[in-house]
Structure 1
Amino acid sequence: MLNSVINLFFPKVCFACHTLLNDNEFDVCTHCRNDLPVTNFHFNNDDSVLKVFYGRVKVEHATTLFRFEKKGIVQQLIHGLKYKGQQDIGVFLGDWLGGELSTVKEYQDIDLVIPVPLHEKKLRKRGYNQVAKFAMQIAAALHVEYVDNVLLKITNTESQVLKKRLSRWSHNDELFNLKNKDLIANKHILLVDDLITTGATMEACISVLKQANNVKISIAAMAIA
């Protein structure tokens, strides 16, 4: 009865389609959940994400939870997370992917989880890093440390969606900086982001993280375009 009263005044709606959730539904309605384009890369030994980085940077393992489809459910979720303050979406997706990765042997030796950072100006404007809670939940599921004071973004870039890869990252080493590198020496890092398109952002991050001694890097993201 208490839940019914709470839902009357603070109705729970689906993060994707915004319809009212039933009592046995959480975060995303059953219909949207069934329609989500799940990849299962980490269960099927699928190297689709790894192929994005072949010949560019060394990556141990790589996966995403979903495939990104323009105007699809995943786009709605990421948009809500990034621009509408719906940070619970990050928790929901982090619990989902983290729970799955905790059962996959390739991710059992992860030592810590690092989110792709925002520049401090964008962080102040938005109020949060949209990847943070996603990464925190994955770290919790893997029983490892979440670290956000090592990789810093030092260049405030504009939206890169429509720019070609070669023009967007002509100076990768000027985008990110490494601090406290001794904290990650000899560690297996899981680098986490929301969306992988060309892989240029991850590539820039990995190049900087590799400045630390003897690090291994794997990748996880919400979706791949």
Structure 2
Amino acid sequence: MLPAFLADLASLVFPQTCLACAESLLRGEDHICTLCRAQLPYTDYHKLSAPQNPLARRFWGKVPLQHTLSYLRFLRRGRVQHLLHQLKYQGQREVGLVLGRWYGAELTTQGLQPGFDLIVPVPLHPRKLAKRGFNQSDTFAEGLSESLQVPWSATALRRLEHTDSQTRKNRFQRWQNVATVFEVAEPHTIIGQHVLVVDDVLTTGATLEACAVALLDAGCRAVSIATIACAEH
């Protein structure tokens, strides 16, 4: 670690900027400035029981989930959209890591940490993974893992098909698009376990639902989900 005066000098010559607002970071700020962190649109869904959690209601009658969690609200042209764009398309992996660490600390404070046995990110198809270079959900899983002290696996779940973009599909079309594309690649890692499945954004929930079904069918004891952000339903 650099001495404080060298760190200050380096920040003057090579200033780091906030990944949400592009303003210069102060010493001690971690990729996102204090002001942006304070103004992020938090959901606080982890503080709500299932009947009061509007996100949980999206999955009622579809798949049984232990916890339905999302850190932030996705608002168009807002800080969260900008952060996710930095993560997915600008290669800023630190966005997922930092938000995962912060959310993991929140979940630990709420007493949810002991319930999870394994964190599994929604996988990309190998073709898309090769094109993008990394899976943005892996970074969120890694950050959560650090704070929750729960192992994570990028290989437990596998995507079998390269599906079309979900962007312009309705909920039924999204479900048809992903209903059979996931399988458990390492059953021994998930049998009898409570698995936390994580992704970047939840819209209709079709992708996470398909992952949860595959995991439960393969012998999971329970499945929960968590995303960086969720879109309004």
Q: TM-score, normalised by structure 1?
A: 0.94
Shift of 1:24: 4.0
CA–CA separation in structure 2 for the residues paired with 1:177 and 1:26: 36
Q: Which residue of 2 aligns with 1:73?
A: 79
- Out of 97, 102, 108, the residue aligned to residue 103 of structure 2 is 97
Q: Which residue of 2 aligns with 1:26?
A: 30
Q: Which residue of 1 aligns with 2:136?
A: 130
Q: Could you give the per-residue CA deviations for residues 4-57 of structure 1, whole angstroms, max 9, x where no partner exists?
A: 221133211001111111224331122222221011111243412211111110
Q: Which residue of 2 aligns with 1:176?
A: 182
CA–CA separation in structure 1 for the residues paired with 2:113 and 2:170: 32
Shift of 1:173: 4.1
Q: How does 1:71-220 map to 2 (within 5 A)?
A: 71-170=77-176, 172-220=178-226
CA RMSD of aligned residues (A): 1.5
User: Which structure: greater helix fraction?
Assistant: 2
Query: Is the 1:12–1:21 Cα contact (8 Å) retained in structure 2?
Result: yes
After alignment, is 21-30 or 191-200 more displaced?
A: 21-30
CA–CA separation in structure 2 for the residues paired with 1:63 and 1:168: 20
Which amino acid counterpart does residue 26 of structure 1 have in structure 2? D
CA–CA separation in structure 2 for the residues paired with 1:64 and 1:214: 21
Query: Is the 1:182–1:212 Cα contact (8 Å) retained in structure 2?
Result: no
CA–CA separation in structure 2 for the residues paired with 1:206 and 1:95: 23
Q: Could you give the per-residue CA deviations for residues 185-224 of structure 1, whole angstroms, max 9, x where no partner exists?
A: 0000011111100000101111111122242001111111
Give me the identity figure in percent. 40
Which amino acid counterpart does residue 87 of structure 1 have in structure 2? R
Which amino acid counterpart does residue 127 of structure 2 have in structure 1? K
CA–CA separation in structure 1 for the residues paired with 2:86 and 2:177: 31
Which structure 2 segments of 5+ residues have no match?
none
Q: Which residue of 2 aligns with 1:14?
A: 18
CA–CA separation in structure 2 for the residues paired with 1:26 and 1:115: 23
Q: TM-score, normalised by structure 2?
A: 0.91
Which structure 1 segments of 5+ residues have no match?
none
CA–CA separation in structure 2 for the residues paired with 1:29 and 1:217: 33
**Structure 1 17/145 Cα, relative in aligned 2: closer, same or farther at 3 Å?**
same
Q: Secondary structure at the match of 1:149?
A: coil
CA–CA separation in structure 2 for the residues paired with 1:206 and 1:152: 12
The count of corresponding residues between Structure 1 and Structure 2 is 225
Q: Which residue of 2 aligns with 1:57?
A: 63
